[in-house]
Amino acid sequence: GSVIGILGGGQLGRMLSVAASRLGFRTHIYEPMENPPAAHVADRLTTASYDDTEALRAFAASVDVITYEFENIPTAALDLLEAARPIRPNRRALAISQDRISEKDFLTGLGLTTAPYSAVNGMDELQAALSRIGAPAILKTTRLGYDGKGQARLRGPEDAEAALAAMAGAPAVLEGFVTFSHEVSVIAARGLDGSVACFDPGENVHRDGILHSTTIPARLSPAQRSDAVLLAARILNALDYVGVMGVELFVTRQGLLVNEIAPRVHNSGHWTQNGCAIDQFEQHIRAVAGWPLGDGSRHSDVVMENLIGDDILRVPEIARERNAALHLYGKSEARPGRKMGHVNRVQVPAAGK
Ligand code: ATP
Ligand code: MG
Ligand code: MG
């Protein structure tokens, strides 16, 4: 059987591993941190940093194809790995999504709409960007941000200094604050043969910059739903993408705006584990292994709730609920803001109806 190499051993790597072993693959995880969530489900684990060229070479030699659960893999490590084995999704998708500015340049280049944005390095550029874009606005580091980290909101020019200080000298991008009615995401997949399959868009609620829940189906008109799916397909095709991608969208009166894309399985796609015959993790493994994609259609409505920090204390009570599928990541320490697990509440129609 083939071996799938996964860069990153967090919960996404863990759930990818489970899906891969269900399809008869073996998995080898590469993760710098000790005892990561994927440790006990992967067939093999390498604990080493991304500058360890020996470990990277041995990892590549032991696998048939390489995928990843996070987008911030250092370039030098990728160069080394790519010389030995295919990396799916490809390097271009990674490079574009590692930097918020290159991502927005790419999206607008495809004719898609994003929030107005401007690169910001220092106070002069922030002032210029603010006068062009206006307030309110959000300043974000261009790289390495997730769960709303590395972001500062500006109500007006008076917040410029504090916002810039929050970037700690890192390159940033100013985005106009989008007035949206709600947020949705499309989890889309593209196979090695170029076929595309999208899951139904989900509606996302964030709390403190962190995804709190995803509800399927999202409130979207049929036209909005097809817009969402078509624009996702356009992004994947333009990148000659192979794998699953998360596309986050703002629903506005002017139509759908793209917030950001993630070249990997996505937290807002976790509902597929209990709403679809083929979930996003299996879909991703199918794609990177060169299998045909599953069709991704939904058999049930689902509400996914993230269990963050102390939410984990509610597990005994959730375990007593009917039709609540728990997915726990095996993390021992429940720090505030840390994703500990999620629950998929499957909306089962009442009997006899
Ligand atoms: P993720 O964990 O999804 O990768 P992130 O740190 O990359 O998060 P974003 O997705 O950029 O952060 O922003 C987090 C949330 O903040 C968004 O889902 C949205 O609710 C809000 N937000 C971000 N940018 C804007 C914007 N330009 N206008 C309005 N709201 C925004
Ligand atoms: Mg992000
Ligand atoms: Mg986001």
Shared-domain flag, residues 172 and 310: no
- More reliable by pLDDT, 144 or 140: 140
Q: How many CB atoms lie within 10 A of CB 22?
A: 11
Length of the chain: 353
Rounded-to-10 torsion of CA 231, 235, 240, 242:
-90
pLDDT value of residue 196: 98
Atom of ligand 1 nearest to the CA of 262: 4
Chain mean position to CA 139: 20
pLDDT value of residue 353: 53
Shared-domain flag, residues 233 and 283: yes
Band of residue 98 on the pLDDT scale cut at 50, 70, 90:
very high
Q: What is the mean pLDDT of residues 208-237?
A: 97
CB 57 within 8 A of CB 63: no
The CATH number linked to 214 is 3.30.470.20
Shared-domain flag, residues 238 and 255: yes
pLDDT of 91 strictly over 60: yes
pLDDT value of residue 148: 81
Known binder of ligand: residue 333?
A: no
Q: How far is the CA of 206 from the centre of ligand 1 (A)?
A: 9
Query: How far apart are alpha carbons 303 and 222 in whole angstroms?
Result: 20
When divided into structural domains, the chain yields a total of 3
Query: How far apart are alpha carbons 143 and 54 in whole angstroms?
Result: 27
**For the segment 103-138, what is each residue's pLDDT rounded down to a tens digit?**
999 999 999 999 999 999 999 999 999 999 999 999
Query: How far apart are alpha carbons 133 and 118 in whole angstroms?
Result: 8
Ligand 1 proximity of 99 Cβ (cutoff 6 Å): no
Known binder of ligand: residue 305?
A: no
Ligand 1 proximity of 259 Cβ (cutoff 6 Å): yes
Ion ligand 2: residues, Cβ under 5 Å: 260
Query: How far apart are alpha carbons 284 and 95 in whole angstroms?
Result: 19
pLDDT of 349 strictly over 80: no
Q: Give the DSSP H or E segment for 327.
A: strand 324-328
pLDDT of 352 strictly over 70: no
Shared-domain flag, residues 72 and 167: no
Query: How far apart are alpha carbons 229 and 211 in whole angstroms?
Result: 21
Task: Give the tokens for residue 50.
Answer: 């991304």
pLDDT of 149 strictly over 90: no
State which residues form the domain around 35.
3-87
pLDDT of 351 strictly over 80: no
**For the segment 233-248, what is each residue's pLDDT rounded down to a tens digit?**
999 999 999 999 999 9
This model of the complex carries an ipTM of: 0.97
CB 139 within 8 A of CB 119: no
Q: What is the mean pLDDT of residues 150-172?
A: 94
Atom of ligand 1 nearest to the CA of 206: 20
Backbone region of residue 337 per phi and psi (left: phi > 0; alpha: psi in -120 to 50; beta: other values): left
Shared-domain flag, residues 221 and 136: no
Q: Give the DSSP H or E segment for 4.
A: strand 3-7
Shared-domain flag, residues 242 and 341: yes
Known binder of ligand: residue 117?
A: no
Shared-domain flag, residues 192 and 165: no
Q: Atom 4 of ligand 1 has which residue's CA nearest to it? A: 146
Q: How far is the CA of 167 from the centre of ligand 3 (A)?
A: 18
CB 259 within 8 A of CB 183: yes
